[in-house]
Amino acid sequence: MELILPTLLRLTVDFFEDAPGPAAQTRVNKLLEWWTRKVFGINHWQDLTPDVISLMSVNTLATQRRQMEDTELDSDW
């Protein structure tokens, strides 16, 4: 089976944005905290304020995806 990159991106964004409940959201938050510590180091992960996080790539990609979907829905067929 061939994995298509846009599908992988969509699944990844959905995993983080569409947790099915509070327990799943808690696990997603813990995973994001772990990832942030691994990427930015143990000493700097606390520097990530909500404003900084909102500008990170996963959030930027999610915003771009929503805009593309809105554009598709608004276009005339």
Q: What is the pLDDT of residue 3?
A: 66
Rounded CA gap, 1 and 61, in Å? 25
Predicted TM-score (pTM) above 0.75: no
Q: 10: which residues sit within 8 A by CB, 6+ positions away?
A: 65
Q: How many residues does the chain have?
A: 77
| pLDDT above 70: residue 17 | yes
Q: What angle do CA 64, 10, 71 make, to 5 degrees?
A: 40
Q: 61: which residues sit within 8 A by CB, 6+ positions away?
A: 9, 13
